[in-house]
Amino acid sequence: MNLFLIILFLILYSLITSAFNKKTLKIFIIISILFVIFLYFFCEKKFFHTESFLPAKNINCYYLCCNYYNLLSDSLKKYKLYISDNINYDEKVFINKGKQPLLDTSIYKGKVYLYFGITPVLLFYLPFNSFTNLYLTDKFLVFILSCFIFLLSLFLIKKVLENITELTEIPQNVIILSIFLVGFCNLLPFLLIRSAIYEVAITTAVFLLLFSFCLFFYYLKIKNTKKQNILNFCLASTLCLAVGARPHYVLFIPIFFFFIILLKYRETKNIKDTIYTTVIFLIPCLFYGSIIALYNYFRFDSIFEFGWRLQINPINQIEFKPTFQEFWLGLKNNFFVLPSINEPTFFSLTKTFGHRIGKDYITGVFWTCPIIMLLLFIPKFLKQIYNKNINIFIFILLITVTIFINIIVVSFAGMMIRYIFEYLFLMIILSLIIFLFYIGEQPDKHIKNFFNCLFIFIFFISLFLNISLLFCTENFLTHDYLKNTYYSKAVKFLF
């Protein structure tokens, strides 16, 4: 199997870096990052509707649910909030001829509205079209955002680690393999390979959330009050924009707000300064919150209606009521489902039943990325870095947000791989920080070598299962479309 050889090559490549000095490591890191980005490009460009990757002069909507944001962008330029007045959208923009229903949109008073948030349109689609007269595609945007998510994840890991341990004490091959682990084992390639409006919403929100974490990290480091206020305002703004992509991210605003206020009062012991910080944080929240409220009101006559209850969808969302049984079923399926053997990919994902949205073939994240089991050592880890001053706050914030996303996904989202990404990428960031900290702080060379070998084994298992997941044909709705394409060729080559 060529997949085995590719993984062995990556491991060998990482081990080769250990033979060079520390100064040369930066070159290997850059090569590794470029390799991940190249494979992101390959996944996005070569699979599924390859003709709709680059920005184009016309809007190309196609099955399933792609490039709807451009329809809204065009409507906004005409001072309209709906994307069509006909549920069976029959305009010439469709690649597939004939009437195509605009799935996962919302119907109200005979008008079709985009259910998904307006942030991607305001932040990306509308400005891009205004400056270039071209229409940005979902595939192209997801590729760009995925690259930034990957780079910001590495940036956050590096910046946190260099404040709690000596990076030079971490084995060089482990650093290289960590780059590949972050790049390939968090389900981000799965989003790339079948990008649509769903993946645009998720990658936009995750990018803004990660950017918020980076801003918060610098907020912890900077003591200048003026710069803190600027970072505070920018942090609140990015969080609000994230809510405009994924509405449930509104839960993270009070979490960040709590930490910002707590840190300010802890630093100054001054009520006036704390109130001033509160006002600065709330200004963008109230401003963008008002925009979203008015956007909802002008569409659905209610500031609280996001279109969720009015969706064109085979699943009746409004009837779902979360229960402890559903939560436990989601928790079991998300974390503990074992991989099954299934040709031609050898290891495939196990199809799960009983949850409400989707029945994707999945494998529990404990098996696809075993490194996250290190999260069990979080209490001990926090105790050890407590004397590192403010760094403990970034960890507590990361942990809190991760728990909230996990509860939301497990309780409501069902068995959809794209939703698992929303918490898995944070778990991997936390787990790698913990592992790299301990291996860097380990004085015994024999124990350090043991952990090095263990990490190589974990990397091998993780990459093998994640690539198998990526090329599990049962997870794609368009089976016929896969025949004689790069996708089918990739399956034959790898397996």
Q: How confident is the model at residue 458 (pLDDT cuts 50, 70, 90)?
A: very high
Residue 62 neighbours by CB under 8 Å, 6+ apart: 49, 52, 94, 95, 96
b/e code 468-491 from CB counts within 10 Å (16+ = b): bbbbbeebbeeeeebeeebbeebb
CA–CA distance, 251 with 247 (Å, rounded to integer): 9
Q: What is the pLDDT of residues 268-295, one digit of tens each?
A: 888 888 899 999 999 999 999 899 999 9
Tokens describing residue 238: 């990015």
CA torsion 469-470-472-476 (nearest 10°) is 130
The share of the chain scoring above pLDDT 70, in percent, equals 85
Helix axes 197-221, 68-77, angle to 10 degrees: 80
C-alpha distances in angstroms, 152 versus 24, 67, 149, 156, 204?
Answer: 22, 26, 5, 6, 13
Check: CB of residue 142 under 8 Å from CB of residue 44: yes
Reported as half-sphere exposure (CB side, CA atoms, 13 A), residue 397 has a value of 26
Check: CB of residue 369 under 8 Å from CB of residue 455: no
CA–CA distance, 166 with 215 (Å, rounded to integer): 23
CA–CA distance, 300 with 108 (Å, rounded to integer): 7
Q: What is the pTM of this model?
A: 0.91
Highest mean pLDDT among 199-203, 333-337, 378-382: 199-203
Average pLDDT over residues 13-18: 90
Average pLDDT over residues 160-171: 87
The region that residue 444 occupies, defined by phi over 0 for left and psi between -120 and 50 for alpha, beta otherwise, is beta
What pLDDT is attached to residue 346?
A: 46
Q: How confident is the model at residue 151 (pLDDT cuts 50, 70, 90)?
A: very high
Average pLDDT over residues 166-180: 92
The residue ranking higher by pLDDT, 393 or 475, is 393
- Whose CA is closest to 127, among 70, 205, 81, 210? 70
Given a cut of 90, is residue 15 above it in pLDDT? yes
Given a cut of 90, is residue 411 above it in pLDDT? no
Highest mean pLDDT among 72-81, 219-228, 261-270: 72-81
What pLDDT is attached to residue 350?
A: 42
The share of the chain scoring above pLDDT 90, in percent, equals 37
What pLDDT is attached to residue 93?
A: 43
Average pLDDT over residues 26-34: 94
Average pLDDT over residues 391-419: 76
Average pLDDT over residues 19-32: 87
Given a cut of 90, is residue 318 above it in pLDDT? no
CA–CA distance, 59 with 45 (Å, rounded to integer): 18
Domain boundaries, the chain: 2-52+137-494, 68-132
- Whose CA is closest to 434, among 388, 387, 390, 373? 373
In the chain, count of helices (H) and strands (E)? 20, 8
Eight-state DSSP code of residue 136: P
- Whose CA is closest to 52, among 166, 149, 176, 194? 194
What pLDDT is attached to residue 168?
A: 85
CA–CA distance, 471 with 347 (Å, rounded to integer): 10
C-alpha distances in angstroms, 83 versus 1, 5, 69?
Answer: 48, 49, 9
Residue 332 neighbours by CB under 8 Å, 6+ apart: none
Lowest mean pLDDT among 114-118, 140-144, 445-449: 114-118
CA–CA distance, 483 with 481 (Å, rounded to integer): 6
Average pLDDT over residues 115-129: 92
The residue ranking higher by pLDDT, 290 or 363, is 290
What pLDDT is attached to residue 182?
A: 96
- Whose CA is closest to 149, among 65, 48, 37? 37
| Residues 67, 68, 69: CA angle, nearest 5 degrees | 90
Lowest mean pLDDT among 182-196, 314-328, 407-421, 454-468: 314-328
SS3 303: coil
b/e code 3-29 from CB counts within 10 Å (16+ = b): beeebeebbebbbebeeeeeeebeebb
Q: How confident is the model at residue 157 (pLDDT cuts 50, 70, 90)?
A: very high
Given a cut of 50, is residue 348 above it in pLDDT? no
The residue ranking higher by pLDDT, 394 or 414, is 394
CB-based contacts of 154-158 (< 8 A; 24+ apart in sequence): 154/33, 154/179, 154/182, 155/214, 156/210, 156/213, 156/214, 156/217, 156/429, 157/182, 157/429, 157/432, 157/433, 157/436
What pLDDT is attached to residue 276?
A: 92
Residue 437 neighbours by CB under 8 Å, 6+ apart: 161, 164, 165, 381, 385
Given a cut of 90, is residue 361 above it in pLDDT? no
Average pLDDT, the chain: 83
Tokens describing residue 9: 């090559």
Average pLDDT over residues 86-93: 53
What pLDDT is attached to residue 347?
A: 44
Tokens describing residue 346: 């050898």
The region that residue 440 occupies, defined by phi over 0 for left and psi between -120 and 50 for alpha, beta otherwise, is alpha
Q: How confident is the model at residue 352 (pLDDT cuts 50, 70, 90)?
A: very low
Eight-state DSSP code of residue 244: T
Residue 294: what residue type?
L
Q: What is the pLDDT of residues 226-255, one digit of tens each?
A: 888 999 999 999 999 999 998 888 889 999
Given a cut of 60, is residue 163 above it in pLDDT? yes
Rg (CA), the chain: 23
